[in-house]
């Protein structure tokens, strides 16, 4: 089935599933007047376009339909997010640049929590579009700095990862090596991009205000940097407090307050849960710094 046929099948099926609005009157006309759902003429009325214009779209004969027109079609035919993605792919050859529902990236299916918590040996987590952690495993919790004499952690020091990475002293001074150059600059650019893509997200707006007001990271945030979207494949230096396999890894003390940790490279492997555009699943691959091997004694 080619894109034109797939587009026609999708729109015809959604028209048949969509009942006319309860308020107002829509005139039935054309050969489909007795068909279930909406006719092409009724859809055109709701879109404030001619019947011919909408018919061109449904037949796949409209070259490069405007994204705002496609989104209006989504509203009229009540397409779900996955159906909207299919509409864009069939009509334009690519997925929509952003989800139609502003809350699309704020949650994930409950099965993600079960799946993530079951992963052992690699720190991983799922965060929403504003970097609030929705699920994580024990390995991720054990990465964070821990004060000497304290009990093993049962939760995260801060639910919002971007707030932790940009504003918490323990991240800036102890966990993230070369924070000001290796971490702060790309994180600030990443936050700026997320706010541009989700201007109505209250958590992001609140986070931006906190970051902008902070005397340390504020100037970094306000300085233009190269555009940055996500960290997939990026490697940065950090400390892992309770690294599970100490074979060959050297413990290092960042200060007198925290228990020893392992310094190494963290590579971020990131993907998007298909049902939650804007959310992220991230697995961290940690490679401890190599311990110099002592040469033969003379």
Q: Any idea what DSSP says for residue 198?
A: -
Q: In this model, does residue 256 exceed pLDDT 90?
A: no
Mean pLDDT of 268-292: 86
Q: How far is CA 287 from CA 250, 262, 284, in A?
A: 12, 10, 10
Q: Same topology for domains 3-92 and 111-288, yes or no?
A: no
- Residue 237: the pLDDT is 95
* Global confidence as pTM: 0.72
pLDDT in tens, 166-203: 999 999 999 999 999 899 999 998 998 888 878 888 99
- Residue 23: the pLDDT is 43
- Residue 20: the pLDDT is 85
Fold of 3-92: 434 Repressor (Amino-terminal Domain) (1.10.260)
- Residue 96: the pLDDT is 83
As a whole number of angstroms, the distance between CA 200 and CA 74 comes to 20
As a whole number of angstroms, the distance between CA 279 and CA 144 comes to 22
On the CB side of 198, how many CA atoms lie within 13 Å of its CA?
A: 28
As a whole number of angstroms, the distance between CA 241 and CA 262 comes to 6
- Residue 250: the pLDDT is 83
Between these two residues, 77 and 225, which has the higher pLDDT value?
77
Question: Considering the chain, what is the average pLDDT of its residues?
Answer: 87
Question: Contact at 8 Å (CB) between 197 and 170?
Answer: no
Yes or no: domain 111-288 corresponds to CATH 3.30.420 = no
Paired strand residues for 262: 240, 251
Tokens linked to 264: 């190494």
Contacts of 117 (CB under 8 A, 6+ apart): 135, 136, 137, 138
**Three-state SS for 55?**
helix
- Residue 136: the pLDDT is 97
Instruction: Give domain limits for the chain.
Output: 3-92, 111-288
Contacts of 256 (CB under 8 A, 6+ apart): 148
């Amino acid at each position: 089935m080619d894109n034109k046929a797939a587009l026609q099948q999708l729109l015809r099926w959604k028209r048949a599933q969509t009942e006319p609005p309860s308020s107002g009157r829509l005139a039935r006309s054309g050969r489909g007047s007795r068909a279930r759902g909406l006719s092409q003429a009724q859809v055109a009325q709701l879109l404030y376009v001619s019947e011919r214009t909408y018919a061109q779209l449904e037949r796949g004969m409209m070259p490069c339909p405007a994204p705002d027109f496609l989104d209006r079609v989504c509203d009229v035919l009540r397409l779900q997010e996955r159906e909207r993605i299919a509409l864009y792919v069939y009509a334009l050859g690519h997925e929509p640049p952003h989800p139609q529902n502003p809350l699309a990236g704020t949650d994930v299916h409950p099965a993600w929590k079960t799946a993530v918590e079951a992963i052992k040996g690699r720190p991983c987590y799922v965060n929403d579009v504003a970097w609030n952690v929705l699920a994580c495993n024990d390995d991720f919790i054990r990465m964070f700095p821990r004060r000497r004499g304290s009990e093993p952690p049962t939760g995260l020091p801060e639910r919002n990862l971007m707030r932790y990475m940009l504003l918490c002293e323990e991240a800036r001074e102890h966990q993230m090596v070369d924070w000001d150059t290796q971490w702060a600059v790309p994180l600030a650019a990443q936050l700026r991009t997320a706010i541009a893509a989700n201007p109505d997200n209250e958590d992001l707006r609140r986070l931006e205000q906190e970051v902008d007001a902070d005397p340390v990271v504020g100037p970094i945030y306000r300085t233009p940097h190269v555009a940055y979207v996500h960290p997939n494949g990026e490697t940065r230096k950090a400390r892992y407090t309770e690294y599970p396999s100490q074979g060959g890894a050297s413990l290092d003390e960042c200060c007198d307050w925290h228990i020893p940790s392992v310094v190494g490279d963290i590579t971020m492997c990131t993907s998007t849960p298909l049902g939650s555009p804007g959310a992220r699943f991230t697995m961290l691959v940690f490679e401890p710094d190599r311990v110099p091997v002592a040469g033969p004694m003379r």
